[in-house]
């Protein structure tokens, strides 16, 4: 099953490679990984999307906790949570496709953030399914380039991951 694991870890050189190394050494799967410092610059917040059986996920969280630089680990998918991903898509936008592309972006609540006479760059935020749906909805042949940040997640309501 798909799980979203949130990690607070010391913002130190090498901490990321410890986490990434753990996944590759033990044969765990990483679908996406995002990391950036938090409001407390000494801490980084990492979100990893992974797939595995309950036993594997249990081992993943235990092994993450074992890393010296990891402060806290939470499996967000154990409770209600929100996940978001940012995607930038550069598309060919000429002729009648130009108006159509803008309309599609609006339907998906995306924004055109860069324009040339032949291209649009569209910014789109949402969960994975929404971003996938947008890719499906537009003509594949018009896509010049896509870049996705990977998933960030946060618990709903009072659910807080903090030191």
Partner 1 sequence: MSANEELTGAEIVVRCLQEENVEHVFGYPGGAVLYIYDALFNQDRVKHILVRHEQGAVHAADAYSRSSDRIGVCLVTSGPGVTNAVTGIATAYLDSIPMVILTGQVPTHAIGLDAFQECDTVGITRPIVKHNFLVKDVRELAATIRKAFYIARTGRPGPVLVDIPKDVTAKKAVFQYPAEVPMRSYNPVLKGHTGQIKKAVQMILSARRPMIYTGGGVILSDSSRELNELVDMLGFPCTNTLMGLGAYKASDRKFVGMPGMHGTYEANLAMQNCDVLVAIGARFDDRVIGNPADFAKHQRQIIHIDIDPSSISKRVKVDVPIVGDVKEVMIEVIRQIRATDVRPDPRALADWWKQIEEWRSRDCLKYDRSSEKIKPQYVVEKLWEATGGDAFITSDVGQHQMWAAQFYRFDKPRRWINSGGLGTMGVGLPYAMGVQMAHPQATVACITGEASIQMCLQELSTCKQYRLPVKVLNLNNGYLGMVRQWQQIEYGSRYSESYIEALPDFVKLAESYGHIGMQITRPADVEGAIREALSRKDRTVFMDFLTDPAENVWPMVQAGKGLTQMLLGSEEL
The least CB distance from residue 31 to partner 1, in Å, is: 22
The least CB distance from residue 130 to partner 1, in Å, is: 35
Q: Closest CB to partner 1 among 72 and 90? A: 72
Contact 50, 64 (CB under 8 A): no
Contact 149, 88 (CB under 8 A): no
The least CB distance from residue 105 to partner 1, in Å, is: 43
Cβ count near 54 (within 10 Å): 9
Q: Which residues bind partner 1 (CB under 8 A)?
A: 9-10, 13-14, 17-18, 21, 25, 55, 58-59, 62-63, 65-66, 68-71, 163
Q: Closest CB to partner 1 among 11 and 119? A: 11
Q: Closest CB to partner 1 among 13 and 141? A: 13
User: How many residues are recorded in the chain?
Assistant: 163
Structure tokens at 85: 């991903």
Q: Closest CB to partner 1 among 19 and 76? A: 19
How far is residue 19's CA from residue 67's CA, in Å, rounded to a whole number?
Answer: 8
Q: Closest CB to partner 1 among 34 and 59? A: 59
Question: How distant, in Å, are the alpha carbons of 17, 83, 101, 102 from that of 105?
Answer: 36, 20, 6, 5
C-alpha atoms less than 13 angstroms from C-alpha of 138 in its C-beta half-sphere = 31
The least CB distance from residue 36 to partner 1, in Å, is: 18
Contact 53, 125 (CB under 8 A): no
The least CB distance from residue 78 to partner 1, in Å, is: 17
């Amino acid at each position: 099953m798909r799980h979203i694991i949130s990690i607070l870890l010391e913002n130190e050189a090498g901490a990321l490679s410890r986490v990434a190394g753990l996944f590759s050494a033990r044969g765990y799967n990483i679908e996406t990984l995002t990391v950036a410092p938090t409001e407390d610059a000494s801490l980084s917040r990492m979100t990893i999307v992974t797939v595995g059986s309950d036993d594997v996920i249990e081992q993943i969280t235990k092994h993450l906790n074992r890393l010296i630089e990891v402060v806290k680990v939470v499996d967000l998918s154990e409770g209600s949570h929100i996940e978001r991903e940012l995607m930038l898509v550069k598309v060919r936008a000429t002729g009648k496709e130009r108006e159509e592309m803008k309309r599609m972006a609006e339907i998906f609540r995306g924004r055109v953030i860069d324009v040339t006479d032949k291209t649009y760059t569209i910014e789109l935020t949402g969960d994975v399914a929404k971003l996938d749906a947008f890719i499906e909805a537009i003509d594949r042949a018009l896509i010049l380039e896509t870049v996705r940040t990977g998933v960030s997640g946060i618990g709903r309501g009072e659910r807080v991951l903090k030191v």
